[in-house]
């Protein structure tokens, strides 16, 4: 694109005035603009700014020269539009984690009991004449026991301290591990910009709104921008939208470039329009609470990060967009769309707290602790009442003694001691070994889970996963390998259900096939050696072309020598792939000057219609008539499609020298009369270990559901191969649009009653937006159609998965392919991006649950017997020597064994009493 710098001066001088007056556009104008897509964005730019050049003039930047780099100007831009920095969620301090651990109900009961016991152990009232005041002095403990009375309370406080410190240290160390993982993944990234007409690289944190950035294949966009000039630019937006297909960007149709997306093909220049918290990734980070502190400061100062108009547009943005719709599920519980932003931030926080407040096991243990506390309190109260009544009746009734003034301290001493005995019964009733057992079990499991590629960020996520009843999984990268691969081929009149051996293919056919694929692909598309020994080869560039290059390698041939012999500059003519052609063609001039050869590839339904010949078994071209094509579609193409394969046709055409040079601009004539070499079926293959893993889940009572942005046919085929869909099963496979029609009323609101009719049978949700995923997860968790509440685990790798990951009981983020937003919202990070690691997490969670259940059975047996012995002993003898001995023995036993049988408990009690 040619631009005149005179028409578009750099405009780097900043006029005096208020911040909004410094530029012809505000941060909210840019946020509104970046929420639009495709034709809407083009129309908005044309109506409001004339064109992208007009937008550059508003931002006081030159599309050619870029910014001047003047520090004053850069500071003005920072002030007006923000810095390109998303503050990470502030990690909790160790003391904060200690305080959180202290909130456990069981520990609170223990703390109160310990403090009372410790305080009363130091109470020594003045003595009196025992003979004069009565003969029940046996209720007062001897001197030796009185001196050791403090041990009871101190021991309980010590055990509480151990539990709290172990829990806090585990959470702190895992958070530190997570931050370390992030820092390793996020190496110092630089980006190419134009300043003062010079192409320079700067840290991404120094990017400002108005910068002119150069983008090329392989770049991860660090900020939002609008395309100024592009060359066959294709962007992978799956991290934001969940769509696996690459999006072609152009000034005429879709110039919007979003942060967090990858450049897969081509190059170009963009003007940076939004940075940091104002970019699309930053907005989602803010909604997920990553920028809570910064958000609150802005609200307190009265500076609104978003307005109602902006947010209402977000919720009404295109349903398959997946970026603006991130806001909707987080706002769905707010009654009015016209709420102030501060209400929305509070709402997001409330959702987060509700989710993380208690795990399943924590909830059950808390109820148990309360019940035990109530039972212990009743028993201790009954003990005190019985002891007091016994003392009063025996002293003043049976013995007939009067209440003497000088005996009052002695009587008070008796009453205090009775209260101490009651507290002892209460302390015996509370299983102080239980929190320590739970914490140690979880800590041990978390350590072991790390070896199984599960980085647990929250300790309770381990045992929560053991209760999981539903897993909502992504397809790409989790169930599949995220590597497009040729799995079937029709070659030489033969349909191969797997890649054929090269020796069964005619050498002439093999030669033209390899040359066609090697030359008629972007030279930036390559298959590189594995990053580490034993790993899979790395696919770089277009995924479809990588699958074809992989096909060449499986045929024991190498594409690189052919490319070295025919470099890009020797390509005579290239017809790049576009949505109208649905094919790519490359023309070569023959080395002997005897004309031209054109190689073509593309969607089989398009390319086959342009083929008039096909290579037969002997590698010779034969006539390919329309009826032959129809037969091939019926016998080859449709069966491949039923298997969920994408079909690609590879063809060629020779232009003889005697016919002269063709008119290359007449595509209708050029892309015709082709000779079909082969038709291949490609797919993203299922990970080999996934079907067995899903079968294990189903046997364990866990329902696996696939939620993907892919089309329904591919999703159904992959789900069948994985074992998610079983023959004869009554299941539902829905697209996002149909799903919403079933669950929403006429006003577009989700109704739980409608959702309850859909989700129990739903197994595959295709063409789903982020809102659909969040709605499904929330609906399953809130459902009451089943007897027990469903515990939902969710996997995700993209920014669009953030709300669903945060909402779910357990969120699994991908450690390799996952975005920062996904990892921040997750509870467990899969360091190998593999579904089988989720199964291992379930196994460890159930192991923890079973271990704690066994210990609980033992602990309660001990406590019930101890309370009975303490109660009866205190009531009969008015002393606590034997109950204390019993209690002491049995509260040390949990440290030795988790599985002492009931008879052993009674036997040990008998021994302790003797």
Per-position DSSP letters for 858-888, written without gaps between them:
HHHHHHHHHHHHHHHHHHHHS--HHHHHHHH
**First-to-last C-alpha distance (Å) of the chain:** 98
Cα separation, 325 vs 331, whole angstroms: 10
- 242 dihedral zone (left: phi>0; alpha: psi -120 to 50; beta): left
Chain-centre distance for alpha carbon 903: 48
Per-position DSSP letters for 250-261, written without gaps between them:
BTTTB-EE-TT-
**Dihedral through CA 92, CA 355, CA 798, CA 289, nearest 10?**
-50
Handedness of CA 12, 16, 20, 24 (dihedral sign): negative
- Rounded to 5 degrees, what angle do the CA atoms 587, 593, 597 make? 25
Residue 367: Cβ within 10 Å count: 11
Q: If DSSP codes are grouped into helix, strand and coil, which group holds residue 14?
A: coil
Q: If DSSP codes are grouped into helix, strand and coil, which group holds residue 274?
A: strand
Closest of 12, 6, 15 to residue 194, by C-alpha:
12
Cross-strand pairs, 625 = none
Query: Quick check: 824 and 288 in contact, CB under 8 A?
Result: yes
Cα separation, 826 vs 808, whole angstroms: 9
Q: Which residues contact 448 (CB under 8 A, 6 or more apart)?
A: 844
Cross-strand pairs, 542 = none
Is 474 among the residues known to form the active site? yes
Cα separation, 472 vs 453, whole angstroms: 19
Query: Quick check: 14 and 81 in contact, CB under 8 A?
Result: no
Closest of 834, 826, 829, 894 to residue 861, by C-alpha:
894
Using the 8-state DSSP alphabet, how is residue 469 labeled?
-
**Dihedral through CA 478, CA 483, CA 489, CA 491, nearest 10?**
180
Q: If DSSP codes are grouped into helix, strand and coil, which group holds residue 494?
A: strand
Phi, psi for residue 346 in degrees, rounded to 5:
-60, -40
Give the residue ranges of DSSP H helices in 102-186. Answer: 105-121, 130-133, 143-147, 150-185
Query: Quick check: 284 and 821 in contact, CB under 8 A?
Result: yes
Per-position DSSP letters for 329-360, written without gaps between them:
HHHTTSS-TT--HHHHHHHHHHHHHHHHS--H
Query: Quick check: 337 and 312 in contact, CB under 8 A?
Result: yes
Cα separation, 259 vs 275, whole angstroms: 8
Question: In terms of DSSP bridges, do strands 792-796 and 810-814 run parallel, antiparallel, or are they unpaired?
Answer: parallel
Catalytic residue among 104, 236, 254, 474: 474
Cα separation, 153 vs 423, whole angstroms: 11
Using the 8-state DSSP alphabet, how is residue 794 labeled?
E
The three state secondary structure string of 608-668 is: HHHEEEEECCCCCEEECCHHHHHHHHHHHHHHHHHCCCEEEEEEEEEEEHHHCCCCCCCHH
Q: If DSSP codes are grouped into helix, strand and coil, which group holds residue 458?
A: coil
Q: How far is CA 173 from CA 313, 443, 829, 831, in A?
A: 42, 11, 15, 17
142-174: string of b/e by CB count within 10 Å (b at 16+)?
eeeeeeebeebbebbbebbeebbebbbbbbbeb
Cα separation, 1 vs 351, whole angstroms: 48
Q: Could you give the residue numbers annotated as active site?
A: 474
């Amino acid at each position: 694109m040619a631009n005149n710098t005179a028409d578009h001066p750099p405009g780097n001088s900043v006029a005096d005035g208020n911040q909004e007056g410094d530029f012809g556009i505000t941060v909210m104008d840019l946020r509104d603009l970046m929420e639009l897509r495709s034709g809407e964005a083009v129309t908005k730019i044309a109506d409001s700014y004339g064109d992208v050049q007009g937008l550059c003039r508003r931002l006081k930047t030159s599309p050619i020269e870029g910014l001047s780099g003047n520090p004053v100007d850069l500071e003005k831009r920072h002030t007006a539009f923000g810095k390109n920095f998303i503050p990470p969620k502030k990690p909790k301090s160790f003391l904060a984690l200690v305080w959180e651990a202290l909130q456990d109900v069981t520990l609170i009961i223990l703390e109160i009991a310990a403090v009372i016991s410790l305080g009363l152990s130091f109470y020594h009232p003045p003595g009196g004449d025992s003979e004069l005041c009565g003969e029940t002095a046996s209720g007062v403990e001897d001197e030796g026991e009185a001196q050791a009375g403090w041990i009871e309370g101190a021991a309980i406080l010590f055990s509480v301290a151990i539990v709290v410190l172990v829990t806090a240290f585990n959470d702190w160390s895992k958070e530190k591990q997570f931050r370390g993982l992030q820092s390793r993944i996020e190496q110092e990234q630089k980006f190419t910009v134009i300043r003062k007409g010079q192409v320079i690289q700067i840290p991404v944190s120094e990017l400002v709104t108005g910068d002119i950035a150069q983008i090329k294949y392989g770049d991860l966009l660090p900020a939002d921008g609008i395309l100024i000039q592009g060359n066959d630019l294709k962007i992978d937006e799956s991290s934001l939208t969940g769509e696996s297909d690459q999006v072609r960007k152009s000034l005429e149709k879709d110039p919007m470039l979003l942060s967090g997306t990858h450049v897969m093909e081509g190059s170009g220049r963009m003007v940076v329009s939004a940075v940091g918290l104002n970019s699309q990734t930053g907005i989602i980070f803010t909604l997920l609470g990553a920028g809570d502190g910064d958000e609150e400061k802005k609200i307190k100062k009265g500076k609104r990060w978003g307005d109602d108009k902006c947010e209402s547009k977000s919720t009404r943005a295109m349903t398959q967009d997946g970026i603006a719709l991130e806001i909707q599920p987080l706002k769905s519980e707010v009654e009015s769309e016209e709420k102030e932003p501060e209400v929305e931030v509070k709402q997001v926080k409330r959702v987060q707290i509700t989710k993380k407040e208690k795990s399943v096991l924590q909830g059950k243990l808390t109820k148990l602790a309360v019940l035990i506390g109530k039972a212990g309190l009743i028993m201790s109260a009954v003990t005190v009442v019985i002891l007091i009544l016994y003392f009063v009746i025996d002293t003043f009734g049976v013995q007939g003694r009067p209440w003497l003034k000088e005996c009052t301290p002695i009587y008070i001493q008796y009453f205090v001691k009775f209260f101490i005995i009651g507290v002892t019964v209460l302390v015996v009733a509370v299983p102080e070994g239980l929190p320590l057992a739970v914490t140690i079990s979880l800590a041990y499991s978390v350590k072991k889970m790390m070896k199984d590629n599960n980085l647990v960020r929250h300790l309770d996520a381990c045992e929560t996963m053991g209760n999981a009843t539903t897993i909502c999984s992504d397809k790409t990268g989790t169930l599949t390998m995220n590597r497009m691969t040729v799995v079937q081929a029709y070659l030489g009149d033969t349909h191969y259900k797997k890649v054929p051996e090269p020796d069964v293919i005619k050498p002439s056919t093999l030669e033209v096939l390899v040359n066609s694929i090697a030359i008629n692909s972007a030279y930036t598309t390559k298959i590189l050696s594995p990053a580490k020994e034993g790993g899979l080869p790395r696919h770089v560039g277009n995924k479809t072309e990588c699958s074809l290059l992989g096909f060449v390698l499986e045929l024991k041939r190498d594409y690189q020598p052919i490319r070295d012999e025919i470099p890009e500059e020797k390509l005579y003519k290239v017809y790049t792939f576009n949505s109208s052609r649905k094919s790519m063609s490359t023309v070569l001039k023959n080395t002997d000057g005897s004309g031209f050869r054109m190689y073509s590839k593309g969607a089989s339904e398009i390319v086959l219609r342009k083929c008039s010949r096909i290579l037969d078994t002997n590698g010779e071209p034969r006539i390919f008539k329309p009826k032959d094509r129809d037969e091939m579609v019926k016998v080859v193409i449709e069966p491949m499609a039923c298997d969920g394969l994408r079909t690609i046709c590879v063809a060629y055409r020779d232009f003889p020298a005697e016919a002269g040079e063709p008119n290359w601009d007449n595509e209708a004539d050029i892309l015709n009369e082709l000779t079909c070499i082969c038709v291949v079926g490609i797919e993203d293959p299922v990970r080999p270990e996934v079907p067995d893993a899903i079968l294990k889940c189903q046997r364990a009572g866990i329902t696996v559901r696939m939620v993907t942005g892919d089309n329904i046919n591919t999703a159904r085929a992959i789900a069948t191969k994985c074992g998610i869909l079983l023959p004869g099963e009554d299941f539902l496979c829905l697209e996002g649009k149909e799903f919403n029609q079933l669950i929403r009323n006429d006003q577009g609101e989700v109704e739980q009653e409608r959702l309850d009719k859909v989700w129990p049978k739903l197994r595959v949700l295709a063409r789903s937006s982020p809102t659909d995923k969040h709605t499904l997860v929330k609906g399953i968790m809130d459902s009451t159609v089943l007897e027990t509440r469903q515990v939902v685990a969710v996997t995700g790798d993209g920014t669009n998965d953030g709300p669903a990951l945060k909402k779910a009981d357990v969120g699994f983020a991908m450690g390799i392919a996952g975005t920062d937003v996904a990892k921040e919202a997750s509870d467990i990070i899969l360091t190998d991006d593999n579904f089988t690691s989720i199964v291992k997490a379930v196994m460890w969670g159930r192991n923890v649950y079973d271990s704690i259940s066994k210990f609980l059975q033992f602990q309660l047996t001990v406590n019930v017997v101890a309370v009975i012995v303490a109660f009866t002993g205190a009531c009969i003898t008015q002393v606590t020597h034997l109950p204390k001995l019993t209690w002491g023995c049995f509260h040390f036993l949990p440290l030795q064994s988790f599985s002492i049988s009931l008879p052993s408990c009674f036997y040990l009690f008998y021994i302790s009493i003797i």
